[in-house]
Chains A and B, each alone.
Chain A
């Protein structure tokens, strides 16, 4: 289950005021370019914003996951040369510099479904409780028009007035025999 990773803020005090303003307004003025710190913007990503997100739909996010460090620069120098000379650890480090999790890691089945199911059941329980409370404590008796007698009187009146005679209720009533038409035809 991949989630939008929160990226810690860069140390804004080190930047000069002008640079800060420039970067703050570089992408819509929400300061996201300050938040990503020294991370390299390398692509379009999922929506053009410099955010990191592991997903199978869009596996190449707009920024690298980690900030540049001197050790990493050394490895990147080596990366310019033959890749066969890189050790496996170097390759892994380069990968982890660019990406947070591998495919199998972010697709790994997590027990997150438990909390989802739990929250859903809480909501159902709260709704049921509220309904019961309202039914017992708040609402009074049903209006008298809901009594069986009055409802059948209403139905009789609808038939006498021939309401909806083509497809509706009166079309089901046989006025000659004064009873419901048989269901067959």
Chain B
């Protein structure tokens, strides 16, 4: 009984492993090589600049980036903003700016002006307001309790 179960289990495992072997290999490849900062920036720039990228993928990329321990470089931010322009979603652009500002952490005083200076041409070209112009650098609305809604 046990041997039959073990054989079935082995078959099932082999089947699932064969299916994912290429993915496993791809993940393992990443271990040996260290990706440089420039390559990283390029990868994400390319990701956001791809033709036919949709809102789903943009959100995925941005969520990933804002979950990492880094401040996105101005080039990535610009590429992200242009991607939001292509899918016609200005809310996404504003949220992206906010997220990037938030990633500056306790270095907001030095890092954020630098970022803003670098991306201002793109902001003006696309007509995206800065967080300060929107007044979103201070809390605007208090949230109503869900019991009053």
List chain A positions with a Cβ less than 8 A from chain B.
5-6, 8, 42-44, 56-60, 76, 79-80, 82-86, 88, 91-92, 94-95, 97-105, 107-108
List chain B positions with a Cβ less than 8 A from chain A.
55-56, 59-60, 62-63, 66-67, 85, 88-92, 94-95, 98-99, 101-102, 126-129, 133-134, 136-141, 143, 146, 149
Total A-B pairs, Cβ < 8 A: 96
Known: A79-B88, A84-B127. 13 other contacts (CB 8 A): A43-B63, A59-B62, A59-B99, A60-B62, A80-B88, A86-B90, A91-B129, A94-B90, A95-B91, A101-B141, A104-B139, A105-B139, A107-B102
Within the complex, the shortest CB–CB distance from B53 to chain A, in Å, comes to: 13
Cβ of B55: which chain A residues have Cβ within 8 Å of it? 42-43
Task: Say yes or no: A43 contacts B56, CB within 8 Å.
Answer: yes
Within the complex, the shortest CB–CB distance from A95 to chain B, in Å, comes to: 5
Known: A57-B67, A59-B63. A86 touches B127 (CB 8 A): yes
Interface centre among B56, B90, B94, B101 (most CB of A within 10 A): B90
Cβ of B63: which chain A residues have Cβ within 8 Å of it? 43-44, 58-60
Q: What are 10 of the A-B contact pairs (CB < 8 Å)?
A: A44-B63, A60-B59, A60-B63, A82-B127, A83-B127, A95-B90, A102-B98, A103-B102, A104-B138, A105-B141
Task: Say yes or no: B134 contacts A98, CB within 8 Å.
Answer: no
Chain A contact surface mostly:
loop
Known: A6-B146, A44-B59. A104 touches B137 (CB 8 A): yes
Task: Say yes or no: B92 contacts A98, CB within 8 Å.
Answer: yes
- Cα–Cα, bound, A88→B94 (Å): 12
Nearest A residue to B138, CB-CB: A104
